[in-house]
Amino acid sequence: MNRVNEHILGFDIGGTKISGILSDSSGNIITSSRKMTVKHMGKERVLKDIEEMGNSMIEETGISPEKVSIVFAGLVDSDLGRIISSPNLFGLSDFNIVKDVKKIFSIETLLENDATAAAISEKVFGKGKNMDNFIYISLSTGIGGGIFANGKLVRGNKGLAGEIGHCIILPDGPVCGCGRRGCIEALAGGKAIARKIMENRTMLRESKFFSSIPAGKITAKHMFEGVKKGDMYAQLILEETLFYLSTAISNFICSFDPEAIIIGGGMSLAGNLLMAPLKQSIDENLKGMYRDVKIIKSDPENGKLAPVAVSVYEEKI
């Protein structure tokens, strides 16, 4: 498709930082910047940071972007340009960020949820480029995702399709951030893994590896480190995580018959410590049905282009 090359000013507002980029629509990043966030950001501070970061990137490059694209870690209404809820940064719920950012830069402004944007980025620039059917799953502190079916992003009736982290796979399981019990996020998300280790006194006492880390500092990354070092308890936690993940992923595969499951997010950085046993576990679950579904790791660089991908994808449809 012949497309005019545009410049996009992108902002990714996450739990710990705001990442800014100025890129062309082919995904060539011209410059980037970042600012750390604080938990009680408030709307004014976010708008001020966006204005400062955007203006300094425009000044530095001398490029006037045609569009602004915002990616946000929380529930959003992309049609209205409104943040619905913000679980990581307080004071941003029910906030029409698009309206206010439009006032700053006076150009078209888009808003998308971060996991959905990452799925779009797989379609536009990444591993899903030549696929019509794939599911992107972000395994991070929480679990999110996006679904492409028949070549199109599945948004659903209210734009909430692809919130696969909140599929319940263990009724009466642990309480999830969404208020329900037994969601996959509450069982296999990074935060849930860390909690599981920290709440297990026997494990903390008897595992040589975990007992060497200050209890409050344990994260999902330590699970993978422990596995690498041959720690039996870390291996047990990984196996439990894989059991829940592969159960959920097998259900998604049966529902959508995808060509591939693309795994991204912080936990995917564990590489084959996660990917190889996950693939094996899914294969065992599906017992030959959907045998050729590929389980592949996302390229972490791709995430940076998520705001750009959202803008390019919007143009195409």
176 lines the binding site for Zn ion (CB under 5 A): yes
Query: Contact region for Zn ion (CB under 5 A) — 22-30, 61-69, 169-177, 238-246?
Result: 169-177
Q: 54 or 159: whose CB is closer to Zn ion?
A: 159
Smallest gap from Cβ 171 to Zn ion, in A, equals 13
Residue 304: which of 43, 38, 118 has the closest Cα? 118
Q: 207 or 247: whose CB is closer to Zn ion?
A: 247
267 lines the binding site for Zn ion (CB under 5 A): no
Smallest gap from Cβ 184 to Zn ion, in A, equals 8
Left (φ > 0), alpha (ψ -120 to 50) or beta: where does 138 sit?
beta
Q: 166 or 304: whose CB is closer to Zn ion?
A: 166
Query: Contact region for Zn ion (CB under 5 A) — 2-10, 170-178, 231-239, 254-262?
Result: 170-178
The burial class, CB within 10 Å (0-12 / 13-18 / 19+), for 62 is: exposed
Q: How many beta carbons lie within 10 A of that of residue 315, not counting itself?
A: 12
DSSP labels for 6-34?
-EEEEEEE-SSEEEEEEEETTS-EEEEEE
Residue 211: which of 221, 227, 224, 197 has the closest Cα? 197
Query: Contact region for Zn ion (CB under 5 A) — 17-25, 48-56, 105-113, 177-185?
Result: 177-185
> How distant, in Å, are the alpha carbons of 36, 195, 237 from that of 203?
34, 12, 10
Q: 184 or 306: whose CB is closer to Zn ion?
A: 184
Smallest gap from Cβ 183 to Zn ion, in A, equals 3
Q: Three-class SS of residue 177?
A: coil
Smallest gap from Cβ 164 to Zn ion, in A, equals 10
104 lines the binding site for Zn ion (CB under 5 A): no
CB–CB of 262/136 below 8 Å? yes
Q: 177 or 266: whose CB is closer to Zn ion?
A: 177
Smallest gap from Cβ 165 to Zn ion, in A, equals 6
Count of residues engaged in binding Zn ion, rule: CB under 5 A = 4
The burial class, CB within 10 Å (0-12 / 13-18 / 19+), for 109 is: buried
183 lines the binding site for Zn ion (CB under 5 A): yes
Strands in 117-200 per DSSP E: 134-139, 143-149, 152-153
Smallest gap from Cβ 244 to Zn ion, in A, equals 13
Q: Which of residues 147-166 bind Zn ion (CB under 5 A)?
A: 166
Two tokens, residue 9: 């000013």
234 lines the binding site for Zn ion (CB under 5 A): no
Among 30, 104, 160, 178, binds Zn ion (CB under 5 A): 178
Q: 23 or 88: whose CB is closer to Zn ion?
A: 88
Report the C-alpha gap between 95 and 84 in whole angstroms: 7
Smallest gap from Cβ 3 to Zn ion, in A, equals 38
Strands in 86-170 per DSSP E: 108-113, 134-139, 143-149, 152-153
Apex 55 CA angle, 53 and 61, nearest 5: 100
Smallest gap from Cβ 176 to Zn ion, in A, equals 3
Site for Zn ion, rule CB under 5 A? 166, 176, 178, 183
